[in-house]
Amino acid sequence: DAGVIQSPRHEVTEMGQEVTLRCKPISGHNSLFWYRQTMMRGLELLIYFNNNVPIDDSGMPEDRFSAKMPNASFSTLKIQPSEPRDSAVYFCASSLAHVGGLNTEAFFGQGTRLTVV
Amino acid sequence: AQSVTQLGSHVSVSEGALVLLRCNYSSSVPPYLFWYVQYPNQGLQLLLKYTTGATLVKGINGFEAEFKKSETSFHLTKPSAHMSDAAEYFCAVSDFSGNTGKLIFGQGTTLQVKP
């Protein structure tokens, strides 16, 4: 398996523009996580899905952020409109959650470095 | 709710010296615990994990960690630091919420290795 695949690796956009980040989890995994990493706030969990259903989106900073998982092999994180403070590295990770809620380790993608100017 | 605390955002050691990165967790049930490493401009990579059984777990690159329930700790150690160990290290705990689970990460510890 190629691991978790994120695209694009780098994104530079102007303030106010819509940004869409993409993630393909590892085949067979049933949990997917979106994290944001900044120097100031560290690694923050934005949202996670289990079996394509959003379970906890309490980390999504505001309504400008939305995430979808239309099927088991694809997820998007959208920011509309984007702002300079959204500049960060966004990671997608996937794992296999067994019955009973026990996750094996999460496998991370290489991240998308977003710069909003 | 579960949480993870990493003591010390920056740790500096000399090459060849012992590495000790501290992690404490809070959990109402026996947790799964993880250590991840992040090299510059890369994603997070699993170093080691504790699930059940032996409390001393060994990982990649000579690292190991010991689960101490009485101290709610899962500290990461390596007997002899190498320059290539310089990176950021994250401790994480698996949440037992229902049938889903999520990974909760600490704030990270940056390890500097001096020649």
What was the pLDDT predicted at A97?
Answer: 76
| Binary contact (B102, A100; C-beta < 8 A) | no
| Max CA distance (Å), chain B | 47
| Binary contact (B101, A45; C-beta < 8 A) | no
- Residue A64 tokens read as 């400008």
Omega of the bond leading into A81 within 30 degrees of 0 (cis): yes
The C-alpha atoms of residue A18 and residue A65 are separated, in whole angstroms, by 10
What was the pLDDT predicted at A71?
Answer: 95
User: Is the per-residue pLDDT at B89 higher than 70?
Assistant: yes
Q: Which tens digit of pLDDT belongs to each residue from A18-51? A: 999 999 999 999 889 999 999 888 888 999 998 9
The C-alpha atoms of residue A31 and residue A99 are separated, in whole angstroms, by 12
User: Is the per-residue pLDDT at A114 higher than 70?
Assistant: yes
Q: Which residue of chain B comes nearest to A107, CA vs CA?
A: B45
DSSP per-residue string spanning chain A: ----EEE-SEEEE-TT--EEEEEEPPTT--EEEEEEEETTTEEEEEEEEETTEEEE-TT--STTEEEEEEETTEEEEEESS--GGG-EEEEEEEE-BPTTS-B---EE---EEEEE-
What was the pLDDT predicted at B94?
Answer: 80
What was the pLDDT predicted at B99?
Answer: 46
Confidence of residue A116 (pLDDT cuts 50, 70, 90): very high
Strand partners, B73: B24, B68
Taking CB atoms and an 8 Å cutoff, what residues of chain A touch B2? none
Cα torsion A95, B75, B54, B98: sign: negative
Measured in whole angstroms, the distance separating CA A73 from the mean position of its chain's CA atoms is 13
Q: Which residues of B touch A (CB under 8 A)?
A: 32, 34, 36, 42-46, 49, 51, 90, 92, 94-105, 107-108
What was the pLDDT predicted at B104?
Answer: 84
The C-alpha atoms of residue B102 and residue B51 are separated, in whole angstroms, by 15
Q: Which tens digit of pLDDT belongs to each residue from B17-35? A: 999 999 999 877 778 889 9
| Binary contact (B45, A108; C-beta < 8 A) | yes
Q: Which tens digit of pLDDT belongs to each residue from A49-98? A: 989 999 889 899 889 999 999 999 999 999 999 999 999 999 999 988 77
Instruction: List the 74-103 stretch of A: residues with Cβ below 8 A of B.
Output: 91, 93, 95, 97, 99-103
The C-alpha atoms of residue B45 and residue A108 are separated, in whole angstroms, by 7
What was the pLDDT predicted at A34?
Answer: 96
Mean pLDDT throughout B53-65? 93
Q: Is B8 helix (H, G, I), strand (E, B) or coil?
A: coil
Only one residue has tokens 């290539």, namely: B84
User: Is the per-residue pLDDT at B98 higher than 70?
Assistant: no
The C-alpha atoms of residue A92 and residue A99 are separated, in whole angstroms, by 22
Q: Select the more confidently predicted residue: B48 or B98.
A: B48
